[in-house]
Amino acid sequence: MPRGDLFPDIAPFETGLLPLGDGHVMYWEQVGNPRGQPVLFLHGGPGAGAGAVHRRFFDPTHWRLIIFDQRGAGRSRPLGELRANTTPHLVEDIETLRRFLGLEKWLLFGGSWGSTLALAYAQAHPSRVTGCVLRGVFLGRPAEVDWFLHGLRRFFPDAWASFVEHLPPHERGEILGSYLRRLTDPDPLVHLPAARAWSHYEGSCSTLLPSPETVASFAQDRSALGLARIEAHYFAHGLFLREGGLLAGMNSLTEIPAEIIQGRYDMVCPAETAFDLAAAWPRARLTLVPDAGHSALEPGVRTALVAAVERFRRR
């Protein structure tokens, strides 16, 4: 897939492992200008981890980009660990990283679950946030989780059939619980096939047009295990969000500017959610990409994301 609208590949100027307690160790990296404007990249999932391509949304001559893998995800250790892995833990991890790096404030950039975590962190620490760039908004409401588990069948019946057929017929009435039992089974012969099936389903539904490249990236064993196990764990616990959800906390963000980028045909996180968030956020600008699905690498979405980051650069 041509990606000429992104900035060139660049290596980090610093990487590290930060102990978090409870047996967790965070992988983090810094990219771009060491004296630049700080921006924090928040990956999706939960559990998906970050990759080299995510560095390319930011002009390295201007931004001091911080990327980290959340608990149990990517290069953080141990992979797929669910113990002490909740949204409040992740919010505190972000503060731990901010203090460790000696930063006063930063711009938040997150898509899908990354948008959820960005909102949770911004509501907990609004004085530390200069703004938000959010994509494919997910608020973690019960109806949104139900849509992922059941509603996607209306548009991707083939992908949904493969997803459900991984389970024996007598367990298909409780998709989430059945998958979670398999994903947390200690036997790799049980949890790895379940992780592949879950991740293949999500990857298959993430782009407007079929993308074997996207599906393959989701289905790699290491990324699949972190994504599927942690995602199912969070879904089973209401994303560990406070009562009333994220929209109930929007009064703390009234002075924070935001750019919301949303694919019109995002089937994983339908556009209705982005509209609900924009309606509750006085300083949010919503950009609807007319020919895109969920993935940050959809051509129209990535162009809009780069433009949104550049608008923050000029503020």
Catalytic residue annotation? 112, 266, 294
Nearest to 203 by CA among 234, 229, 227: 227
Q: CB of 220 within 8 A of CB of 51? A: no
Angle 139-259-232 from CA coordinates, rounded to 5°: 25
As a three-state string, the secondary structure of the chain is CCCCCCCCCCCCCEEEEEEEECCEEEEEEEEECCCCEEEEEECCCCCCCCCHHHHHHCCCCCEEEEEECCCCCCCCECCCCCCCCCHHHHHHHHHHHHHHHCCCCEEEEEECHHHHHHHHHHHHCHHHEEEEEEECCCCCCHHHHHHHHCHHHHCCHHHHHHHHHCCCHHHCCCHHHHHHHHHCCCCHHHHHHHHHHHHHHHHHCCCCCCCHHHHHHHHCHHHHHHHHHHHHHHHHCHHHCCCCCHHHHHHHHCCCCEEEEEECCCCCCCHHHHHHHHHCCCCEEEEEECCCCCCCCCHHHHHHHHHHHHHHHHC
Please give the Cα distance from 50 to 47 (Å, whole number).
Answer: 9
Nearest to 116 by CA among 101, 132, 96, 97: 132
Q: Which residue has the tokens 């990517």?
A: 74
